[in-house]
Amino acid sequence: MKTIKGPGLFLAQFAGDDAPFNTWDGITKWAADCGYAGVQVPSWDARFFDLEKAAESKTYCDAFKGEAETNGVTVTELSTHLQGQLVAVNPAYDTAFDAFAAPEVQGNPNARQVWAVDQVKKALSASKNLGLTEMATFSGALAWPYVYPWPQRPAGLVEMAFDELATRWRPILDHAEECGVDVCYEIHPGEDLHDGVTFEMFLERLGGHARCNMLYDPSHYVLQCLDYLDNIDIYKDRIKMFHVKDAEFNPTGRQGVYGGYQSWVDRAGRFRSLGDGQVDFAAIFSKMAANDFGGWAVVEWECALKHPEDGAREGAQFVKDHIIRVTERAFDDFAGGDVDEATNRRMLGI
């Protein structure tokens, strides 16, 4: 068994234009002061990360990593959630997602998609230069507008969407293999990979590609009413990253899973700061330990109620309290004896 590393913090929800959240020096010192041992880096945020340089220069990466370590934290992984989203965009979302892209490709879906693929590949190269072995991302979505269709979907529509999704991601995954980095898709509503079945559909089309893996986040399963504990056992060999995020689902006679177009505060299902929701993290950390997950436990703070800085500080301690330092021996070793084949034979009567 392995002891999970942590706590780590995903910086995307904290990066901003005000100190200490606008510089690499400032935000890493702040994260360490909150009690974190590692930080997950949004690769698109130029306030503290230069993706172009990181993809080309190990010297830049060594300095970037070194500054973080001097300030008390380790770089755990890079994230390409925004760029990965743009690898596959249904036209219904062209306008909404355009802001994720560089200005020069906005308004041009084909150019935007080429740019997104290049960005994700560069982040894989940067991960290699940083000595990282996992990268977080989204799959993007072609079929999502038809997840609950009326009128019914035309025959072959979903199959065509997943064929195309796999075609777009295969060269990226092949580059990941060259870099020695696992691509970890956050299984998430809004993405074509939003549950176990859709992940399997994708993986099958990729021939079980070794670099196609999962980012496990139980909060997204709570809001889908999916068994998030069983999911760990089913996909233990593909779960390579872990977001520690809480959620609650309280359906009423007026709304359920779909939320009635309400704001986060007023939805039946909403994300919460760690410990304020319904996720059974004691069971999750136990399963992770039993299944030999040796990666990072990374807090992703999203809450409709609590201040982010309070959520961050509380989250660091929450993860520390849940990480299981795994045992190196069985609890009943004191009652065991030496291995003796003759004795075993006598006990079995053979």
**272 has which bridge partners?**
246
User: Residue 336: what pLDDT?
Assistant: 72
Rounded to an integer, what distance in angstroms lies between the CA atom of residue 241 and that of residue 297?
8
CATH superfamily of 5-348: Divalent-metal-dependent TIM barrel enzymes (3.20.20.150)
**In the Cβ-directed half-sphere of 318, how many Cα atoms lie within 13 Å?**
25
Over residues 150-187, the pLDDT tens digits come to 999 999 999 999 999 999 999 999 999 999 999 999 99
Instruction: Output the pLDDT for position 338.
Output: 73
* pLDDT tens by residue, 285-338: 999 999 999 999 999 999 999 999 999 999 999 999 999 999 877 766 666 767
Q: Is 72 helix (H, G, I), strand (E, B) or coil?
A: coil
Give the pair of three-digit tokens for residue 346.
């006598």
Spell out the domain ranges in the chain.
Answer: 5-348
pLDDT of residue 335: 63
What DSSP string runs through 89-144? B-GGGHHHHGGGS-GGGTT-HHHHHHHHHHHHHHHHHHHHHHT--EEEE---BSSG
| pLDDT tens, position by position, 219-229 | 999 999 999 99
Residues contacting residue 109 through CB under 8 Å, at least 6 positions apart:
89, 91, 94
Q: Please determine, for residue 109, whether its predicted confidence score (pLDDT) is greater than 90.
A: yes
How many whole angstroms separate alpha carbon 33 and alpha carbon 284? 26
CB-based contacts of 64, cutoff 8 Å, min separation 6: 24, 49, 54, 75, 130
- Cβ atoms of 186 and 243 within 8 Å: the answer is yes
The pLDDT of residue 334 is 60
Given a cut of 90, whether residue 343 has pLDDT beyond it is no
* Residue 333 confidence (pLDDT): 67
Angle at 95 between CA 93 and CA 271, to 5 degrees: 60
